[in-house]
């Protein structure tokens, strides 16, 4: 039987949760996808076929599809058979739900370009996530849509090798890379986000590029992210800005579709907005981005460099006002000498006011005329005026605005 491009069969099966020997009342019809009529780049498995829910993907159903790049599975799906997507060389992305309870071995085996899994969590069931991680040792990113937020977790790759010890007649195995320990953070019923973040020091020497992606993605999607780990991620990107920028720019050049480009631009924007792009790192990244004609990336890098300079200058000014950094020179005179000088200045000012009373600091010409006197304005700079005359001359009022300009001081 066929529907559109799918080959399928309708069968009666026990309802999920009922035993294998359940009654007829506990069984229902379900559709099982067994293959495709023609190869497609993007495949979206429907919820129902002929009104019957699609509950399973048969073993080898989509195996060795040479042109398949992405596949979307419905929420009605309960089981994915062994080697269902085996050896699909162009497969890059799978979208699915946590409704899958049976994810058999080898489903994504030999899918060398697979790098992103989109998982929508409804039931808090992470069985399918754990099974996918166990099925591949390659680097894999999970974009999680959770009931209370979003998270993006990158799991580094690792190498699992077997070595034959002929003298002892044993087979010994070795694991290199941090990918295995990162996978242990995923359980059937949850994810240890704090445990995941504490492993960051393990991936830095092992895979610096993966470390840059982990740091950026956790800051972009800070689901259950503690402050101490956020600071560590930010400090890593700031200290390794040149390498991180180069990696993100190269991701833009490598292609991978609009999704990969948007992801790289988000990481660049994060570093630009938080002032992580130093001048030296910006210069190197600009040379690389401009040679690839990545105008948008160049704009982000320049903006980030200006932000970093502004934040650095603001930090230096702020440090001058901190108590531990503020330098206050000590006085060359004892404190009592200052009190004596203040009292002496006050007595001199009092005697001067008695000798030259200034009830009106700037008397107008009309007030002089009312007293039968004439106002004698002394020029501000009179070569013939002695010190005593200049001291007695009334100040000429400022005829400008309300405030003095800087040059008037």
pLDDT for res 222: 96
Range of the domain at 12: 1-115
Beta strands across the sheet bearing 140-146: 42-44, 70-72, 93-97, 116-120, 140-146, 149-155
Q: pLDDT confidence of 259, banded at 50, 70, 90?
A: confident
Assigned domain for 84 exists: yes
Residue 235 in any domain: the answer is no
Amino acid 258: pLDDT? 72
More confident residue, 316 or 4: 4
Q: What is the tens place of the pLDDT at every residue in 379-404?
A: 444 445 444 444 444 544 444 444 44
User: Which pLDDT score, from 0 to 100, does residue 257 have?
Assistant: 65
Q: Which tens digits make up the pLDDT trace of 369-380? A: 555 555 555 444
pLDDT of residue 13: 79
The band of 130, judged by pLDDT with boundaries at 50, 70 and 90, is very high
If you average pLDDT over residues 95-108, what whole number do you get?
94
Q: What is the predicted pLDDT for the residue at 266?
A: 94
**pLDDT score recorded for residue 404:** 41
**pLDDT tens-digit series, residues 226-246:** 999 999 999 999 999 999 999
Please, are residues 252 and 297 in contact by the beta-carbon 8 Å criterion? yes
* Measured CA distances, 244 to 215, 250, 276, 278, 409 (Å): 10, 10, 10, 12, 51
Mean pLDDT for the chain overall: 80
Q: What is the pLDDT of residue 345?
A: 53
Strands 186-187 and 190-191: antiparallel
Query: Is 187 part of a structural domain of the chain?
Result: no
Please report whether residue 15 resides in a domain: yes
Choice between 61 and 177, residue whose per-residue pLDDT is larger: 61
The answer to whether residue 397 is domain-embedded is: no
Domain count, the chain: 1
Cα 297 from Cα 123, distance rounded (Å)? 40
| Residue 177 banded pLDDT, cuts 50, 70, 90 | confident
Instruction: Please indicate, yes or no, if residue 3 is contained in any of the structural domains.
Output: yes
Instruction: Return the number of other C-beta atoms located less than 10 Å from residue 372's C-beta.
Output: 6
Long-range contacts, stretch 28-31, CB < 8 angstroms, 24+ apart: 30/54, 30/55, 30/56, 31/55, 31/56
Q: pLDDT-derived band of residue 4, with 50, 70 and 90 as boundaries?
A: confident
Interval 327-363: pLDDT, tens: 444 544 444 444 555 555 555 555 545 554 444 444 4
Alpha-carbon span 89 to 110, nearest angstrom: 7
pLDDT, tens digit, 9 for 90 and up, residues 189-208: 999 999 999 999 999 999 99
Kindly report the CATH number assigned to the domain that includes residue 28: 3.80.10.10
Question: Tell me, what's the pLDDT at 160?
Answer: 73
Task: Say whether pLDDT at 368 is over 70.
Answer: no
pLDDT per position as a tens digit, 23-68: 545 778 999 999 998 888 999 999 999 999 999 999 999 999 999 9
Residue 62 lies in a domain: yes
Residue 165 has pLDDT above 50, yes or no: yes
For residue 254, tell me if it sits in a domain: no
Rg from Cα positions in the chain: 39
Mean predicted confidence (pLDDT) in 255-261:
71
């Amino acid at each position: 039987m066929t529907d559109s491009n799918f080959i399928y069969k309708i069968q009666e099966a026990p309802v999920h949760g009922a035993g294998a020997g359940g009654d007829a009342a506990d069984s229902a019809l379900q559709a099982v996808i067994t293959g495709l009529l023609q190869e497609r780049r993007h495949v979206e498995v429907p919820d129902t076929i002929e009104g019957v829910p699609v509950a399973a993907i048969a073993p080898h159903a989509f195996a060795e599809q040479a042109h398949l790049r992405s596949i979307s599975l419905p929420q009605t799906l309960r089981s994915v058979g062994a080697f269902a997507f085996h050896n699909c060389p162009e497969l890059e992305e799978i979208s699915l739900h946590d409704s899958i309870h049976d994810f058999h071995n080898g489903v994504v085996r030999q899918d060398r370009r697979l790098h992103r899994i989109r998982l929508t969590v409804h039931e808090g069931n992470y069985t399918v996530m754990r099974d996918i991680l166990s099925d591949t040792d390659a680097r894999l990113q999970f974009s999680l849509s959770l009931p209370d937020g979003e998270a993006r977790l990158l799991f580094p790759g690792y190498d699992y090798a077997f070595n034959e010890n002929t003298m002892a007649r044993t087979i010994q195995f070795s694991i290199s890379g941090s990918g295995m320990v990162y996978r242990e953070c995923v359980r059937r019923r949850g994810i240890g986000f704090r445990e995941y973040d504490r492993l960051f020091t393990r991936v830095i020497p092992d895979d610096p590029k993966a470390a840059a992606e982990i740091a950026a993605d956790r800051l972009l999607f800070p689901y259950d992210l503690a402050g101490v780990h956020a600071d560590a991620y930010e400090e890593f990107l700031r200290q390794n800005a040149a390498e991180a920028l180069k990696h993100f720019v190269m991701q833009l050049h490598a292609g991978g579709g609009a999704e990969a480009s948007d992801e790289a631009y988000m990481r660049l924007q994060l570093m630009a907005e938080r002032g992580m792009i130093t001048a030296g790192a910006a210069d190197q990244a600009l040379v690389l981005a401009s040679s690839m004609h990545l105008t948008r990336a160049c704009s982000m890098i320049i903006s980030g460099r200006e932000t970093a300079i502004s934040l650095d200058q603001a930090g230096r000014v702020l440090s001058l006002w901190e108590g531990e950094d503020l330098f206050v020179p000590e006085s060359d005179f004892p404190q009592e000498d200052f009190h004596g000088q203040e009292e002496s200045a006050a007595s001199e000012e009092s005697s001067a006011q008695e000798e030259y009373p200034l009830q009106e600091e700037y008397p107008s010409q009309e007030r002089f005329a009312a007293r039968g006197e004439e106002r004698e304005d002394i020029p501000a700079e009179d070569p013939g005026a002695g010190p005593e005359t200049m001291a007695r001359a009334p100040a000429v009022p400022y005829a400008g605005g309300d405030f003095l300009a800087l040059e008037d001081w």
